[in-house]
Structure 1
Amino acid sequence: MILLLLIPCLLLAYRIISLLHTSFTTRSLFSVPGPFSTRLTKLWYFNRVRRGHFEQDNIQLHQRYGPVVRIAPDHYTINDRAAIKTIYSTGSKFAKAAWYEGWKHPDPDRWTLFPDRDMKRHAETRKRFSSLYSMSSLVHYEEFVDQCADIFSQRLSEHAAQKKGMNLGHWFQCYAFDVIGHITFGQRFGFLDEGRDIEGTMAALQKLMTYSTLVGIYPEWHPRLFGPLSKFTWSGAGGRAYIMRFVQEKIRQHNDSKPKRDPANGTLQTQGFLEKMILARDKDPEKVTDYHLFMMGQSNVIAGSDTTAISLSAVMYYLLHNPVVLEKLRHEIDDFTARGLCSTRVTFKESQEMPYFQAIMKEALRMHSATGLPLWRVVPAGGTELSGRFFPEGTVVGVNTWVAHYDEEIFPDAKSFRPERWIEAESDSERLKVMNDMYMPVSGAPGSSLFSQKLIWNSLDWGREPV
């Protein structure tokens, strides 16, 4: 009995000693402000994330405390333009923090691109497959996107004709999944046909993201929780296991079927993402392995569908809530159409030439970025100075895209949806540069910009009177 009482006391004493040690070794950060409990525990941060809307909490913290805020004993969020460049620029030595461990399988041999903390391997993998994500490659998927956008437009027309309400967020998720499936595996999942969560895939992804977000705050628990929880379908770990099996089955089906070839010259017709990888694997099995097929396929599904659906929802939300903006956009579309600058099926390249359309996309993603947590990184060897403070090696720092996007000094009247701010800045190169430096929307899907823009375009005619 005495031993049982001693255990929590010893654990508490160990924790206090650890905190004192951390405070001593990072005394340069002792004065960093933040909620009092964040000096002692991650529980404040965990609870705020669990409750949702941490992006708003983070904005309010910076408004109250300034450019550097403590949210956990060794975690600091920063709102500083120079810090963004230092932490996230190409060639940065700031590795991803342990929070990303929650987004991968606990087995160290089963890594994936998004959460990979090995900077050398991550850079090598990106370089190896960068051609698949280049814009010159992505435009070849445009036919896949058009097919899904046409079906989505048909669903909108059906609901409008029947005067039925619809959950656009759900349908955007259906669209995103089908496009990702079409681009990655060469076949749609069928969400747009049925309008429902087929085999619980969406639910599994949502559970996966909830689990990974929260367990990443205490990454040491991930290896202990993942195995037992994977046996339960209701758990986030179970959702991850389901997505893994889902992707593996799609790859198996693809391997068992022969790619379609053009009989005239024997070449593959419009190639999906996986087809291109299989060809690369067959050409050089050492460079592109079976695990690469699985890893990249899974990354597309996990990173692509949710961020794209969120971005689409944001754009449409702000358009529908700002009828003056919507009308100006329709006027621009009519003008471009009358001048013959738009095809019947507007191409991605054509939409890129429309300044107001592009400004709307940018402003919507400024106001509602797809991620709401700081993008955590670890200070490299030797430490570094950020926003006037020295951060020792090993300290965890990050910038929240919402905090950057709602900085009133950079984006005056930041809570107002005003696409014109981007067009006005075109006449002031320095102002535009500052705005772009603080603009950091997150989008993880291959071609997400491509099929986001094309769907928004197709959706604009929903319920519109003929011109």
Structure 2
Amino acid sequence: MTSGPIVRIAPDTYSIDDPDSVRILYGHGNGFIKSKWYTASGNPYIPDLFTTRDPTLHRNIRKKVASLYATSHLLRMEPIIDDCIDLLVSRFAEVADKRTQINLQHWMQCYAFDVIGYIAVGKRFGFLDKGEDTLGIFPSLHGYLKYCATMGVYSEFHSLIYNIINTVSSGGIGEIVQFSKREIDKRLLIEAQGKSEIDRDMLSEVLQLHEANPQRVTMIDIMSICVTNIGAGSDTTSISLTSVLYHLIRNPLCLEKLRAEIDQHFSTNVSGHIKFADAQKLPYLQACIKESLRVHPATGLPLGRVVPKGGVTVADTFFPEGTTLGVNTWVAHANASVFGPDALSFRPERWLDSSKEELKAMDNYFLAFGQGSRTCIGKNISLVEMTKLIPILVRNFDFRLTGPDILKNGLQCENVWFVKQNNIICDIQHRSTLKHSKGE
């Protein structure tokens, strides 16, 4: 059996594993637009940042709200994330006291949903209160992702099927839409009464933009921003957080090294909040997060792009106009010529001990948030959520895999566009208890 950088996965559709292809396929102004597959991931009648294929329309939409996603701007909302971290820590402390088992991915999804709901519209979903999906969103959203992955292949039927689904079902994205609509309507009523004192969530910001220029930032834009933030940002962040914790659990030497770094830098702040700016300065923490996103990226299908007029040569092969080419993040991140012979292993040190040339090559082929003009606009939200939470959990708790399935068969995942972990069952102990039992 031979292998190479090009695999035909469907008629006129190819998966590419070539570092030079990233610049060609995803670079600014190269004329490659998203494939039709993406259209099934959104409302066929309302364009949004993720699904729109028109580069000009995408650029115009992004310009309206790009400033809201800048890290400097998001840090105004840092207290929102701190509130959710406090809730999660309280729940985990209760679990540790009761010595019960948890589904780690489920709890990370509860956290990610409550944070993004709080950031987007100023209200948590309430999943962290008891660790329960009281609205039934998780399975419905998973079903919707299955729909997106499958219907994307038959995108010409999306409008018809979308109408039928919305007629007979309100779960998944429908529930997120209704949640967003309720909170927007409440906020508009409060604003009309002159009683609003909320000034640190994204809804308040976009409403200000709407008030300043209703034609530029419409109410449809506001709804689209809220729904996209919640629907796309929750699953991807929870998968990434789960990856970080899982790989630290499976690599105790890395965990101890990270704990030593955290303890050293936050010796006077045992259980309080950790500022993003401070956590961002911890090199091994950042390496652990980046390596976790490398070995388990949230997206698991090729990021398809359509070859423009005139065709293109990629990986020494000519592809005619209209061909769909894409790089699968999982394939790219396993490329040994870029990430080393141990590319399949979790080794955070690769981001710290590599040469400048090696780091540049790895960064250029790091696709956890996409590349180029279509880089995920919510990247900074996700990184802030992870960078603040991981040090708190690592410092205060110890996790141990206990589920018989994962102990016998290893990690099980399902790829339905997002690659979600299914069987990470573990117990939690207070780290202080562990240290006391060891006589430390």
Q: CA deviation at 1:150?
A: 0.8
Check conservation: 2:312, 2:319, Cα contact below 8 A. Answer: yes
> Letter of the aligned partner of 1:176 in structure 2?
A
Structure 2: how far apart are the matches of 1:342 and 1:353? 18
Match of 1:464 among 410, 431, 435: 431
- Look up the match of 1:295: 224
Residues 373-422 of structure 1: CA deviation (Å, up to 9, x unaligned): 00011111221111111111111000001111001111221121111111
Match of 2:90 among 126, 142, 154: 154
Which of these two proteins has the greater Rg computed from alpha carbons? Answer: 1
Match of 2:131 among 175, 195, 216: 195
- Look up the match of 2:424: none
Secondary structure at the aligned position of 1:385 is classed as strand
Match of 2:241 among 301, 312, 337: 312
Q: CA deviation at 1:287?
A: 1.2
- Look up the match of 2:273: 345
Match of 2:153 among 217, 225, 229: 217
Matched, 1:125 2:52: no
The alpha-carbon distance between structure 1 residues 368 and 336, as it changes in their structure 2 partners (threshold 3 A), is same
Check conservation: 1:185, 1:273, Cα contact below 8 A. Answer: yes
Q: CA deviation at 1:320?
A: 0.7
- Matched ranges for 1:218-367 at <5 A: 218-233=154-169, 239-258=172-191, 270-338=199-267, 344-367=272-295
Q: CA deviation at 1:354?
A: 0.7
- Look up the match of 1:387: 315
Match of 2:364 among 425, 433, 437: 437
Q: CA deviation at 1:223?
A: 2.1
The alpha-carbon distance between structure 1 residues 394 and 347, as it changes in their structure 2 partners (threshold 3 A), is same
The alpha-carbon distance between structure 1 residues 440 and 259, as it changes in their structure 2 partners (threshold 3 A), is farther
- Look up the match of 1:16: none
Secondary structure at the aligned position of 2:338 is classed as coil
Identity within the alignment, %: 40
Secondary structure at the aligned position of 2:288 is classed as helix
- Matched ranges for 1:50-61 at <5 A: none
Secondary structure at the aligned position of 2:325 is classed as strand
- Look up the match of 1:82: 20
The alpha-carbon distance between structure 1 residues 169 and 279, as it changes in their structure 2 partners (threshold 3 A), is same
Match of 1:138 among 74, 92, 96: 74
Matched, 1:409 2:337: yes
> Letter of the aligned partner of 1:150 in structure 2?
D
The alpha-carbon distance between structure 1 residues 268 and 371, as it changes in their structure 2 partners (threshold 3 A), is same
- CA RMSD in angstroms, aligned pairs only: 2.2
> Letter of the aligned partner of 1:438 in structure 2?
Y
Check conservation: 1:332, 1:356, Cα contact below 8 A. Answer: yes
Secondary structure at the aligned position of 2:65 is classed as helix
- Look up the match of 1:448: 382
- Look up the match of 2:37: 99
Structure 2: how far apart are the matches of 1:270 and 1:276? 7
Matched, 1:378 2:306: yes
- Unpaired runs of 5+ residues, structure 1, are 1-62
Work out which structure has the larger RCO, using CA pairs closer than 8 Å and 6 or more positions apart in sequence: 2
Structure 1: how far apart are the matches of 2:138 and 2:51? 21
Check conservation: 1:377, 1:397, Cα contact below 8 A. Answer: yes
> Letter of the aligned partner of 2:84 in structure 1?
C
Structure 2: how far apart are the matches of 1:348 and 1:270? 20
> Letter of the aligned partner of 1:188 in structure 2?
R
Structure 2: how far apart are the matches of 1:269 and 1:104? 29
The aligned length equals 393
Q: CA deviation at 1:130?
A: 0.7
TM-score by length of 2: 0.85
TM-score by length of 1: 0.80
Structure 2: how far apart are the matches of 1:284 and 1:220? 35
The alpha-carbon distance between structure 1 residues 97 and 343, as it changes in their structure 2 partners (threshold 3 A), is same
